[in-house]
Structure 1
Amino acid sequence: MEALYYLLFGGLSVVVALLEFSKTSKDRISTSAAFNSFKNNYIVVYSLMMAGDWLQGPYVYYLYHTYGFGKGEIGRLFIAGFGSSMVFGTIVGSLADKQGRKRACVTYCISYILSCITKHSPEFKVLMVGRILGGIATSLLFSAFESWLVAEHNKRGFEPQWLSLTFSKAIFIGNGLVAIVSGLFANLLTDTLGFGPVSPFDAAACFLAIGMAIILSTWGENYGDPSENKSLLSQFKVAAVAIASDEKIALLGAIQSLFEGSMYTFVFLWTPALSPNDEGIPHGFIFATFMLSSMLGSSIASRLMAQETLKVESYMQVVFAISSFTLFLPVITSYLVTSSSVKDGSISLGGSILLFGFCTFEACVGIFWPSIMKMRSQYIPEEARSTIMNFFRIPLNIFVCIVLYNVDAFPMTIMFGMCGIFLLIASVLQRRLMVVAESHRSRPQDWTAMKERDDEEAPLNI
């Protein structure tokens, strides 16, 4: 392996270690023992949930390929997963608000375990069922756990600022350290020990089962709107009223969709971007480097959010602008750097530039996750939190499905350029969100009361 990869990984490791071990009292938030116990419990559960997800990622495509499916059939399986998340996501999110977030988290575990079990079958229909279950699980992973955390944090009377500590630490460990270890562990099971490409899915099911046991034994239940007369349709209306009536929520949803849509597109395109002529690049090692970059970003985010005078809405404008530039790099290098025509060679000059740029993008991803969680905890009303969060994922899933369906229809530079524009728009919208938030900071709105008032006035408008 070329020295470039070792130098980049080693350099990032040193920077992350220095950032973590050089934190001063100004960078740390003073908390209570009760909160630390609560935070550690959540981080353990969240890490187990993310391990169940990360273990599957590197070998999904490869497993389908070993079963003899072609690119088109594999593409349909992937589209089924994102389509399932889009179609069923809002429904399961609303049920989480209504029936309980703890139950929703347990449902995530059961759905994903069943999805892992389907991977033992080479039948296309069985695998399709697994993808649908996986899509439902993904919707719950990115809504139910965060909704439970925010509600439980507030119910226990902890300081609002302490939420940022849980968010940043969960992303640092769950989306960083766990991702790296999961990738290496999956490689150990599949290649080194020779258990085959289905073994990471079995390991994922085991971690999910352990996490579910901890949830059942240690977590309490909380709800968005526990009233018995609240139908699913009424729950949708509460969420729709909140989004339509509060510009902050609408802006937050647009920003999230633009960034995550670009991020998932990047996941599909980074490999051909770094090796356009089938250059020999170490995919697993590069993936680990990206995850290390994400850890760097989450470590930076923890420092930024610890500063009481620095608003999330302010620094995220810069983060989106930087991430936009990094995804414009493939377009820029295609014009300024002469591409190599050597097949199966080492990484080219253009590829090296992109590798540094993509690591910077992943660092922005690491900053994004805890920061968007912090903003969601501030602006999304509690009574429909999971429902609204899954509403946000509808345009995201539509976008990803379109990209998957047309991945060969457009040049790679067009796809990256489009993502760069999306992120630039996100930066502009983030600026608008900051302005609106400042003007409305002293005027909180009660969305339940607004919904009830609308219901009362509805007969008068007929």
Structure 2
Amino acid sequence: MAGDWLQGPYVYYLYSTYGFGKGEIGQLFIAGFGSSMLFGTIVGSLADKQGRKRASITYCITYILSCITKHSPQYKVLMLGRVLGGIATSLLFSAFESWLVAEHNKRGFEQQWLSLTFSKAIFLGNGLVAIIAGLFGNFLVDSLSLGPVAPFDAAACFLAIGMAVIISSWSENYGDPSDNKDLLTQFKNAASAIASDEKIALLGAIQSLFEGSMYTFVFLWTPALSPNDEDIPHGFIFATFMLASMLGSSIASRLLAHSSPKVESYMQIVFVISSAALMLPVVTSFLVPPSGVKGGSISFSGCIQLIGFCTFEACVGIFWPSIMKMRSQYIPEEARSTIMNFFRIPLNIFVCLVLYNVDAFPMTVMFGMCSVFLFVASILQRRLMNVAEIHKSRSPEWSAAKEMTSEADPLNP
């Protein structure tokens, strides 16, 4: 995660220092999301088939190669780096979680511990590590004046350390060990599982809507806070975002530690709040007159938007452990990585479409679109909660428990 977070604040900035405009940078981002969409499902299936440990090692190698390409100002080399980065991202958000869930179950640990592990992982990985990474990147670029490529070199070093830890301490685990299905069969089984179980389909749609909005935000926050080329501290702002995310993961940890409210219930509120937070740039564009002065520090409108962005990042902090919890409940183990990467296909299509038309639409339109998608996610989350309750009430375990309760209490109708 340190290797990933070190790169985040400086991707857009690095490309701009090489002289590329917003449209060209958008195409580079499209290459990353497009490669994640095209190759993500394949590498996810290979993770289930060939082993999650091998897939995690592949993530480290692929991302290191992507970091190396950042030294070249050549557009084609940078494009190759984005393709490699897209493949690595697919592995980051599937192989590691799949390995953890399988290892947790193999060792016979309590399911409640899994929720705590997810919360702590997000608190540390998406919070503390991300804050330190943002400040360290800011130190390398601004204090040491090593240039915007320095964080990518540091990321490669951390990825190499992580790979050494994985090789030396992890055991291997797989998806379904009982057969030797080819990739096409795995794809068909994963697609069949999604189509036949409304809970999995709803979960995939919710994840796609939220993550699609989140990745669009990753591209938009820099130009949104510096529309007139204001000199903003990228690393410091990024660290602030991660502090908000860490606060959100801390809230999620407390929510997941109790049986009530259920994760399906409180996530409805989280999606509504995140929708309102990304609507703030649209509101400020009407209420706060734009500044025509070039350069300078962050504007008053930018400060207001920054508050909304921090609120959204807090929602992101709650989202990650919560969606992990729901995935552990609803996604079958034998095709976990494959299904999780299937979820990423629609979100990558959405982000690619947005970035391809980045020059065609005003920034307020793109933020408004993300806000609408997040509100739709809250509606689908409510549907998921209702479907899960219906499924639970029809399960034999629930019926048996209800019958035992009735027998124990004759006054219970």
Shared fold (TM-score, shorter chain, > 0.5): yes
Q: Deviations over 1:344-388 (max 9, x none)?
A: 455444333322222111110100011001100100000110000
Alpha-carbon separation, structure 1, partners of 2:66 and 2:236: 27
Deviation at 1:72, TM superposition (A): 4.0
Contact residue 96 and residue 103 of structure 1 kept, 8 A: yes
Q: Report what 1:303 is aligned to.
A: 254
Selected match of 2:301 from 350, 357, 371: 350
Higher mean displacement: 50-59 or 149-158: 50-59
Q: List structure 1 runs of 4+ shifted beyond 6 angstroms.
A: none
Q: Report what 2:218 is aligned to.
A: 267
Selected match of 1:330 from 281, 291, 299: 281
| 1:84 lines up with 2:20 in the alignment | no
Higher mean displacement: 158-167 or 282-291: 282-291
Alpha-carbon separation, structure 2, partners of 1:410 and 1:122: 28
Selected match of 1:93 from 44, 50, 53: 44
| 1:189 lines up with 2:145 in the alignment | no
| 1:53 lines up with 2:4 in the alignment | yes
Q: Report what 2:245 is aligned to.
A: 294
Alpha-carbon separation, structure 2, partners of 1:350 and 1:192: 28
Q: Report what 1:149 is aligned to.
A: 100
Are the structure 2 counterparts of residues 71 and 338 from structure 1 closer, same or farther at C-alpha, using a change threshold of 3 Å? Answer: closer
Amino acid at match of 2:57: V
Q: Deviations over 1:24-78 (max 9, x none)?
A: xxxxxxxxxxxxxxxxxxxxxxxxxx11111122233333344444444433322
Are the structure 2 counterparts of residues 346 and 183 from structure 1 closer, same or farther at C-alpha, using a change threshold of 3 Å? Answer: closer
Q: Report what 2:156 is aligned to.
A: 205
Amino acid at match of 2:48: D
Alpha-carbon separation, structure 1, partners of 2:22 and 2:293: 25
Contact residue 99 and residue 226 of structure 1 kept, 8 A: no
Higher mean displacement: 121-130 or 222-231: 121-130
Alpha-carbon separation, structure 2, partners of 1:72 and 1:354: 23
Alpha-carbon separation, structure 2, partners of 1:368 and 1:349: 29
| 1:377 lines up with 2:328 in the alignment | yes
2:360 aligned counterpart, secondary structure: coil
Deviation at 1:168, TM superposition (A): 0.9
Where do 5+ consecutive residues of structure 1 fail to align? 1-49, 446-462
Are the structure 2 counterparts of residues 123 and 347 from structure 1 closer, same or farther at C-alpha, using a change threshold of 3 Å? Answer: closer
Amino acid at match of 2:215: Y
Alpha-carbon separation, structure 2, partners of 1:304 and 1:61: 35
Alpha-carbon separation, structure 2, partners of 1:146 and 1:207: 19
Are the structure 2 counterparts of residues 347 and 60 from structure 1 closer, same or farther at C-alpha, using a change threshold of 3 Å? Answer: closer
Amino acid at match of 1:264: Y
Deviation at 1:228, TM superposition (A): 4.3
Are the structure 2 counterparts of residues 403 and 444 from structure 1 closer, same or farther at C-alpha, using a change threshold of 3 Å? Answer: farther
Higher mean displacement: 407-416 or 152-161: 407-416
Deviation at 1:264, TM superposition (A): 1.4
Alpha-carbon separation, structure 2, partners of 1:275 and 1:66: 15
Selected match of 1:119 from 70, 74, 77: 70
- Aligned positions of 1:390-429 closer than 5 A: 390-429=341-380
Selected match of 1:136 from 83, 87, 110: 87
Alpha-carbon separation, structure 2, partners of 1:74 and 1:206: 25
Alpha-carbon separation, structure 1, partners of 2:75 and 2:305: 36
Contact residue 48 and residue 174 of structure 2 kept, 8 A: yes
Q: Report what 2:383 is aligned to.
A: 432
Q: Over aligned residue pairs, what C-alpha RMSD do you find?
A: 2.0
Instruction: Name the % identity.
Output: 84
Amino acid at match of 1:115: S
Deviation at 1:119, TM superposition (A): 2.5
Amino acid at match of 2:109: F
Where do 5+ consecutive residues of structure 2 fail to align? 397-413
Alpha-carbon separation, structure 1, partners of 2:165 and 2:230: 45
Higher mean displacement: 73-82 or 98-107: 73-82
Deviation at 1:402, TM superposition (A): 1.1
Alpha-carbon separation, structure 2, partners of 1:274 and 1:70: 17
Alpha-carbon separation, structure 2, partners of 1:238 and 1:348: 52
